Amino acid sequence: MQLTRRQALLTATALAAGCATPGAGGDQNAALAAFFEQSFEQALDASPQLATRLGDRRGYDRWDDPTEAEERRQLDARLAQRARMRSQFDAAALNPADRLSFQLFDHGVTRAEQGWRWRNHDYIFNHMYGAQSSTPAFLINQHVVVSEADAHAYVARLNGVRPLMDDLIARSNAAAAAGVAPPRFSYDGILATSRGVITGAPFDEGADSPLWADLKAKVNALDITQAHKDSLLAAGRAALLESVRPAYDAVIEAMTAQQARASDDDGAWKLPDGDAFYANRLQVFTTTDLSADDIHTIGLEAVARLHGEMRAVMRTVNFNGDLTAFFRHMEQAPQFYVPDTAEGRADYVRRATAAIDAMRPRLPQFFGRLPQAALEVRPVEPFRERQSGLAFYERAAADGSRPAIYYVNTFDVRALPLYQLEALAYHEGIPGHHLQLAIAQELEDVPRFRRFLTFYTAYIEGWGLYAELLGKEMGGYQDPYSEFGRLALELRRAVRLVVDTGVHARRWTRRQAADYILANQPATEAEALRDMGRYIVNPGQATAYLIGQREILRLREQARATMGTRFTLSGFHDAVLANGAVPLDMLGDLVRDWSTRA
Model pLDDT, residue 382 = 87
Residue 344, in any domain of the structure: yes
Query: Residue 260: pLDDT above 60?
Result: yes
> Of 74, 103, 119, which residue is a domain's last?
119
Residue 501, in any domain of the structure: yes
Q: How many CB atoms lie within 10 A of CB 261?
A: 10
Model pLDDT, residue 427 = 98
Q: List the Cα angle 460/284/187 in 5-degree steps.
A: 90
Residue 441, in any domain of the structure: yes
5 — pLDDT class (breaks 50, 70, 90): very low
Model pLDDT, residue 197 = 97
Please give the distance of CA 281 from its chain centroid, rounded to a whole number: 15
* Exposed e or buried b per residue across 223-255, where buried means at least 16 C-beta atoms within 10 angstroms of its C-beta: eeeeeebebbbebbbebbeebbbebbebbbebb
Model pLDDT, residue 7 = 47
Nearest to residue 596, comparing CAs of 554, 557, 559, 568?
A: 559
Q: What is the DSSP letter of 240?
A: I
Using one digit for the tens of pLDDT, what is the confidence trace for 488-498? Answer: 999 999 999 99
- Distances in Å between the Cα of 175 and the Cα atoms of 71, 122, 380, 535, 554 are 15, 9, 30, 20, 41
Compute the average pLDDT of residues 395-416: 91
Could you tell me what percent of the chain has a pLDDT over 70?
95
Residue 341, in any domain of the structure: yes
Q: Kindly report the pTM of this predicted structure.
A: 0.90
Please say whether the beta carbons of 372 and 443 come within 8 A: no
Strands 391-394 and 404-408: antiparallel
Model pLDDT, residue 18 = 37
Compute the average pLDDT of residues 143-148: 97
Query: Residue 356: pLDDT above 70?
Result: yes
> Of 67, 84, 119, which residue is a domain's last?
119
Query: Residue 17: pLDDT above 70?
Result: no
Please say whether the beta carbons of 248 and 197 come within 8 A: yes
444 — pLDDT class (breaks 50, 70, 90): confident
Residue 263, in any domain of the structure: no
Compute the average pLDDT of residues 363-385: 93
Query: Residue 310: pLDDT above 50?
Result: yes
Could you tell me what percent of the chain has a pLDDT over 90?
88
Compute the average pLDDT of residues 567-594: 97
Domain count, the chain: 2
CA–CA distance, 151 with 66 (Å, rounded to integer): 24
Query: Residue 158: pLDDT above 50?
Result: yes
CA–CA distance, 224 with 214 (Å, rounded to integer): 17
Model pLDDT, residue 99 = 96
Q: Cα(first)–Cα(last) distance of the chain, in Å?
A: 32
- Partners of residue 142 on adjacent β-strands: none
Using one digit for the tens of pLDDT, what is the confidence trace for 56-71? Answer: 999 999 999 999 999 9
Residue 129, in any domain of the structure: no
Compute the average pLDDT of residues 20-29: 54
Compute the average pLDDT of residues 412-427: 96
598 — pLDDT class (breaks 50, 70, 90): confident
Residue bearing the bigger pLDDT, 24 or 219: 219
Please say whether the beta carbons of 578 and 367 come within 8 A: no
Model pLDDT, residue 19 = 40
Radius of gyration of the chain (CA): 24
Query: Residue 82: pLDDT above 80?
Result: yes
3-state secondary structure of 264: coil
> Of 550, 569, 593, which residue is a domain's last?
550
398 — pLDDT class (breaks 50, 70, 90): confident
Residue bearing the bigger pLDDT, 452 or 352: 352
Query: Residue 352: pLDDT above 80?
Result: yes
- Per the prediction, the chain carries an average pLDDT of 94
Residue 360, in any domain of the structure: yes
Query: Residue 543: pLDDT above 70?
Result: yes
Q: Domain residues for 474?
A: 278-550
Using one digit for the tens of pLDDT, what is the confidence trace for 197-246? Answer: 999 999 999 999 999 999 999 999 999 999 999 999 999 999 999 999 99
Residue 191, in any domain of the structure: no
Query: Residue 400: pLDDT above 90?
Result: no
Query: Residue 566: pLDDT above 60?
Result: yes
CA–CA distance, 460 with 11 (Å, rounded to integer): 17
> Which residue type occupies 45?
D
> Which residue type occupies 363?
L
